[in-house]
Amino acid sequence: MADYKTTQAVESLAAEIGENIYIDVAKWHLYLSDAHLHTLVAEKVYPLLENDELSEDKVIDILQQIFVPLGGGRKQVPLSELLPMEGQANLLDLLEEFQNR
């Protein structure tokens, strides 16, 4: 039963991330759901929420470890470099709110 709840929580978190957090490419906002990155981000950050280990440094570390392929995979850029500073702050706020539910 815990696996079902965890899966459901990760899916809910992924939906919120996908709808609210975006990468900025040449002033175009590409939401993480459209970039198919929302579930991956949720899966990586959820253990921080579950274990009460949420911190800005840990979230940024996770974002630095998620590489986004550009140009058909010719180049890979850490997700942390594609999120504007405001987006990183919004992600942290979203995670804090999700954790406090």
**Would you write out the chain's pLDDT as a tens digit for each of its 101 residues?**
458 788 999 999 999 999 999 999 999 999 999 999 999 999 999 999 999 999 999 999 999 999 999 999 999 999 999 999 999 999 999 999 999 98
Q: Give yes or no for a contact between 83 and 75, defined as CB atoms under 8 angstroms apart.
A: no
How many domains does one find in the chain? Answer: 1
pLDDT digits (tens, 9 = 90+) for 31-56: 999 999 999 999 999 999 999 999 99
pLDDT of residue 2: 56
The pTM assigned to this predicted structure is 0.92
Show the domain range for 37.
Answer: 2-99
Query: How is residue 73 annotated by DSSP?
Result: T
Quick one: how many helices (H) and strands (E) in the chain? 5, 4
